[in-house]
Amino acid sequence: MDLPVADPGTERGEGPLLQCPYCDSEAMHKLAQLLLPGLAAVCVDGTTGDLFRKPSVVAVELRKEMVDYVTQRSDTFIADALIESEANQETENEMPEDPFEIVSIFMDDFSSTKRNIIGYVSGWLLSDNREDKIDDFVQEMEMTRFWPLDRREAIAEVLLKNVDIKTKFHCPEKYENEERLADHKEQCSFRPVTCPNEGCRAKVSVRCMDAHDAACPFKVLQCEQNCDKRLLRRDMDRHCVTVCPMRPMKCPFGCDSSFAERDLEKHCLEFLQAHLLKVLKVIHKKGCSEEELKELAQKLEKYDEHGKLAKARDARPLTNTVKDLEAKMKGEPSS
């Protein structure tokens, strides 16, 4: 694992350098999302089997302890990683480099210090029930805004900068004065910008804007099935499946054709004889040859002065129309 080299400071000895404060806002948000389930797990495990305490009772105290613990661990992470790396040079064991995995390890370690013996047993025997309790408490904390997202993001920003060894998620640049730092911040690829898509309030680092835009639910797009509609990405699937006139469909009469739904009328008109033949085979199961049924289909189409046959959109209304026309044909003298 490549570890960062210690900062030598300025050559002129003017004191500590000023570091760019920006980091990947989406990574910070993702890390903040880990904190609430982590706290819920600690509270559930620490009160399992205790008749006098519920997770909500200990949440305030354990939140402070957990934040202090993971922050302290993150402060010393690079030094600890360096020591462990030197101690394990001949082994294949390495510290993880993914910030989310690292912080998850910190929270798991803290949780293990708070888990009572019943919590250990329930975690082993009743894992599904434990996960349900954790999910329920997460939802309870979200509903009561016990730990708002903006406060978690402030903590996540500190943790991210402390454990991001490869500086993939935060800016490592440092400058000797405020003026040079301000110039850099105007061009920093980690500087936050608001998504330009109307309705989206996400703040994203400039370097991540393309990736965000490619997945933003508020991005207006042309229909994926090439109808004339333009709609939000978040509405695309529902539109394509339910109301899009270009959504694919199979012939409702059972022929092998597939086409866009808007072309159903055209298909019914072009293949009316084939559809009539299928219906007539069901109505006249016995006593009629293929040629007789084809001749009857042609007669029905000619007799249908109002075009009711071509207007049928599936087998049932077409069958009813055929029966009505046959009854009328039988009631009239043959020409």
pLDDT tens digits, 76-115: 987 777 776 666 655 555 667 889 999 999 999 998 888 7
The pLDDT value given to residue 290: 84
Q: Regarding beta strands 18-19 and 174-175, do their DSSP bridges make them parallel or antiparallel, or are they unpaired?
A: antiparallel
Q: Which two tokens stand for residue 99?
A: 């910030």
**Degrees, nearest 5: CA angle 226-232-237:** 65
Same domain, 167 and 27: yes
The pLDDT value given to residue 9: 39
Same domain, 143 and 270: no
Same domain, 140 and 279: no
Chain mean pLDDT for the chain: 86
Q: What is the mean pLDDT of residues 277-299?
A: 85
The pLDDT value given to residue 94: 63
Q: Does residue 136 lie within any of the structural domains? A: yes
Same domain, 25 and 165: yes
Range(s) of the domain holding residue 319:
255-329
Q: Does residue 247 lie within any of the structural domains? A: no
Q: Which two tokens stand for residue 216?
A: 């933003």
Domains identified in the chain, total number: 2
The pLDDT value given to residue 197: 96
Evaluated on CA atoms 278, 280, 282, 286, the torsion sign reads negative
Q: SS3 for 239? A: helix
The pLDDT value given to residue 191: 94
**pTM, entire model:** 0.64
Q: Does residue 210 lie within any of the structural domains? A: no
Whether 313 contacts 264, CB under 8 Å: yes
311 vs 301: CA distance, rounded Å? 12
Q: What is the mean pLDDT of residues 275-288?
A: 85
The pLDDT value given to residue 335: 42
The pLDDT value given to residue 242: 93
DSSP letters, 67-102, are: HHHHHHHHHTHHHHHHHHHHHTTTSS------HHHH
Same domain, 168 and 307: no
Domain closes at, from 108, 140, 172 = 172
pLDDT at 318 over 60: yes
Q: Does residue 228 lie within any of the structural domains? A: no
Domain closes at, from 152, 172, 192 = 172
Whether 138 contacts 40, CB under 8 Å: yes
Q: SS3 for 293? A: helix
Q: Does residue 225 lie within any of the structural domains? A: no
Same domain, 26 and 150: yes
Q: Does residue 133 lie within any of the structural domains? A: yes
> Where would I find the beta strands (DSSP E) of the chain?
18-19, 174-175, 192-194, 203-205, 220-222, 230-232, 248-250, 258-260
Q: For residue 30, what pLDDT band results from cuts at 50, 70 and 90?
A: very high
Q: What is the mean pLDDT of residues 6-23?
A: 64
The pLDDT value given to residue 33: 95
Q: Does residue 262 lie within any of the structural domains? A: yes
The pLDDT value given to residue 239: 96
Same domain, 154 and 284: no
Q: Does residue 159 lie within any of the structural domains? A: yes
CB proximity list for 148: less than 8 A, separation 6 or greater = none
For residue range 137-148, list pLDDT tens digits in order: 999 999 999 999
Same domain, 137 and 276: no
Same domain, 272 and 162: no
Q: Which two tokens stand for residue 314?
A: 């599936």
Same domain, 25 and 132: yes
Same domain, 44 and 165: yes
The pLDDT value given to residue 13: 41
pLDDT at 282 over 90: no
Same domain, 156 and 278: no
Q: For residue 175, what pLDDT band results from cuts at 50, 70 and 90?
A: very high
